[in-house]
Amino acid sequence: MQVFEFYFNPRAREDETYQAFLYEPANVLERKLGSLYLVGNLSKVLPQNINFLEKLSSQIKKRYYSLSAHSSEKALRESLAKTNEFLADEVQRENVDWLGNLTLAVCTIKDYIFNFTLVGDIKIFLLRSGKIIDIGKNLELEGVEPWPLKVFGNIVTGKLSQKDKILILTKEVFDFFSEQNILQEIAKLEPLDEKKLKGVLKSKEKLFSEISGAFLLVDLSEEITGKGKIAFEKGIPTFSLSQIFAPLTKLKLPTLPGIRLPQVSSPLKKIRTPRVPEIRSSVNLKRNLIIVLGLVVILIIGGFFARIQNEKEKVAAGDIIKNVKTKVDWADRSLAIKDKDKANQFYQEAWQEILPLTKTDNPLKKEALDLKGEIEGQLFTLNQLEKITDPETLFDSTEINFIPQEIILSQGKIYLFSPANPNIYQLDINNKNGEFIQTDKKFSLAASLYNTTVLFYVRPDLIFSLNGAQFGGSTVLKNPYPDFYFDSLSAFGFNLYFLDSKKGEIVKYFFQEGQSEISGKLWLNDKAKKPIGAKSIAVDGSLWVLNNDNSVDKFYGGNFQETVQLNFFPYAEDFSKILAFEGLPYFYILEPVQKRVIILGKGGQVIKQFQSDKFDNLKDFTVSGNGKTIYLLNGLKIYKVSF
């Protein structure tokens, strides 16, 4: 991967600053989150805010890399939430001059998963196979109010390909590049290299004195890894690449005609090796012999104790393996008498006990790995895990220049939408034909009423109904309390249930077509358990809450009923969404981090699990009316899985 920073006359205006910040992982934990890039512009800068962009980027970086246990998307989302709090504190301290003058792009790349958000008038493009795709189109700041401050809003996530390029441009640079057709010329560079890039820019260098701004280019090609920085200063006819480096290879700084680099003189000098004096003293000889013998004794003793320690570790590992094999034997006997639950329990206990031996260096590690593999094979079968090598692709949105984030099914049609962009894409699942439904709204959540009408929610308080491809009127949701924020939506009958995870409240609205305004009420009883921090809800008569600790709670009539016991393998790491439907005996859970979707009985027993290496960017999912077909939104593709 190559990363280039470009600056055009950054010191041309005293009251304006442009900066790009490139953060690469510094250790094993940070490598779980990948790279973090920021490009920003601050205009009308006061002296006290001259380092504001640097301070802001430092806040984002610090929080982002502290969340290595999360996915890159979740870590970015949480780091931006904390940054909003930091900016709110700045406002409280009466540092408000940056408000309205800040533009910023924040993006992360990890294993080709790309997350980004934009603030203000800054552009971001995807270059793929010579095409230029405006992936930041219509990603604008929504409903920003001075207090409580929320500068960073929606995050867009997508899957990149190996030869993709990401371009981030401040407005003035974008306008200039568009006018001079430079973007199109860069898009044609296959493969991209420094010489070709210089050629494109050099042809326009006389015009660079007219603009001021920044431009970041990230090339996903794997052949070269490095960074470059190019500065174009007003009045200088030529330019130079001041820094290119690779992790393991130092590259010589290239020069262009017209640029003289300072010469560094480092003549090699002859080194005179002093003669080793002869040993003349028998006392010194004896002393040296004693030292040598001492060292030999120490090495012998050290080796002896190392062998003892190795034997101890081997004995300890052997005891663990013996215990594990005993539990495996108990599990096998349970299977023989058709007690699958007991067998599952013994295999899980054996797996947990053998796991530490497979993660550390020990004399019996290979045997432990083999045993772990055998146990997992049995557990996968008992827990109905099916690994799919090549899942069926229903649709690929690459060609329609649309990055969906959400999916819902109604009347045989799938609706794709994104909180970051207006418009909805409607796809017929039978003939796979589709069309855009034009709208200027950005929908955050959706729910289906009796599989006939889809309701789309616009934060903070609007509902739009869609029948087929026709929108009805809007309905205003009366505010249930100050500062509410709905995270999840589910419908049952004509009742809408909204989750506010921050406050741990569920708000119920009764919806009827044609109403201009509806009132909601707090659904949970006063003494009921509060789902604070919950991720998702689903309603099928009972209300199911997917909690932040991956447990599932059941509610009925506003009262807490029980926590459903989930005892299946592989163990949960980070569930993201739950679905349930009236008349179906299952509920469904999505887990992007383990690339799977899980079908469970209402008592928590596992019915089926589907897992695939191609489920590498799971965003959302929906289920057919009979509950037997699952549609998975994975990046730009929809996969279809039936059971």
DSSP letters, 190-244, are SS--HHHHHHHHHTTGGGGGG--EEEEEEE--SS--EEEEEEE-TT-S---B---
Is this structure's pTM higher than 0.85? no
Q: Which H helix or E strand runs over 335? A: helix 282-336
Tokens of 261: 């680099």
Over residues 231-286, the pLDDT tens digits come to 555 543 333 333 323 333 333 333 333 333 333 333 333 333 333 344 444 556 66
Question: What is the spatial distance between Cα 413 and Cα 497, in angstroms, rounded to a whole number?
Answer: 23
What does the alpha-carbon distance between residue 167 and residue 175 come to, in Å, rounded to a whole number?
A: 14
Taking the C-alpha atoms of residue 289 and residue 299, their distance in angstroms, rounded to an integer, is 15
Paired with 213 in beta bridges are: 8
Looking at the DSSP assignment, which residues form a beta bridge with residue 536?
546
In sequence order, what DSSP letters do the residues of 366-426 get, joined into one string? HHHHHHHHHHHHHHHHHTTEEE-SSPEEEEEGGGGT----EEEEETTEEEEEETTEEEEEE
State pLDDT tens for residues 185-203. 888 888 777 778 778 887 7
Residue percentage of the chain with pLDDT more than 90: 48
Q: What is the distance between the alpha carbons of residues 130 and 422, in angstroms, rounded to a whole number?
A: 26
Model confidence at 413, in pLDDT bands (50, 70, 90)?
A: very high
Tokens for 442, please give them: 């950005």
Domains, the chain: 2-232 (3.60.40.10), 295-382 (1.20.58), 387-642 (2.120.10.30)
More confident residue, 82 or 286: 82
**Is 50 exceeded by the pLDDT of residue 40?**
yes
- Judged against a pLDDT cut of 80, whether residue 358 lies above it is answered with yes
* Tens digit of each residue's pLDDT (9 = 90 or more) over 94-124: 788 888 888 999 999 998 889 999 988 899 9
Q: What is the pLDDT of residues 427-473, one digit of tens each?
A: 999 998 999 999 999 999 999 987 789 999 999 999 999 988 888 88
pLDDT of residue 469: 81
The candidate with the shortest Cα–Cα distance to 156, out of 395, 456, 421, 400, is 421
What would the mean pLDDT of 19-45 be, rounded to a whole number?
89
Q: Is the dihedral of CA 483, 489, 490, 491 positive or negative?
A: positive
Q: Where are the alpha helices (DSSP H) in 337-364?
A: 340-359
pLDDT at 156: 85
3-class DSSP state of 249: coil
CB 39 within 8 A of CB 122: yes
Most confident stretch, 169-183, 303-317, 353-367, 619-633: 619-633
pLDDT of residue 275: 39
